[in-house]
Amino acid sequence: MADPIAKAVDVIGQTWFSVLIKVGALCGLTTVILVLLYGQSASSPDRQGRPAAKMFSDVHPSLGTPHKSQLLIGLIVAVVAALTPIDILGEMVSIGTLFAFVLVCGA
């Protein structure tokens, strides 16, 4: 079951609260995705002479962020999110988060 708390609240007749729970879950997932994409920008290459490294480490003149890598990764994430079922995406995010915590704890 994808949303057990919202369904349980629906059963007791509090549909307004169920909608609030679903909106909260959507906001939570959105912030997780944005934070992961934000962290990706910190891992851009450091211009070691390779053309691909230079392309991904170029920073935006006014924003100061590696905008080309953000656009590419954002496009890839959007395509995968659009074409993958939500239950598979949830598992992928959970596995990715677990892997990140394992790396941090191992370091």
Cα(17)–Cα(51) distance, integer angstroms: 52
How distant, in Å, are the alpha carbons of 3, 6, 23, 33, 107 from that of 93? 16, 21, 19, 9, 21
What pLDDT score does 15 carry?
Answer: 85
| Contact criterion met (CB below 8 Å) for 73 and 37 | yes
The residues spanned by each domain of the chain are 4-106
pTM of the model as a whole:
0.54
Question: Rounded mean pLDDT of the chain?
Answer: 79
Does the pLDDT value for residue 97 go beyond 70? yes
Dihedral (CA of 60, 62, 65, 71) sign: negative
pLDDT, mean of residues 61-68 = 80
Considering only residues 101 and 51, tell me which one the structure prediction assigns the higher pLDDT.
101
What are the pLDDT digits (tens) for 10-44? 888 888 888 898 898 888 878 877 777 777 666 65
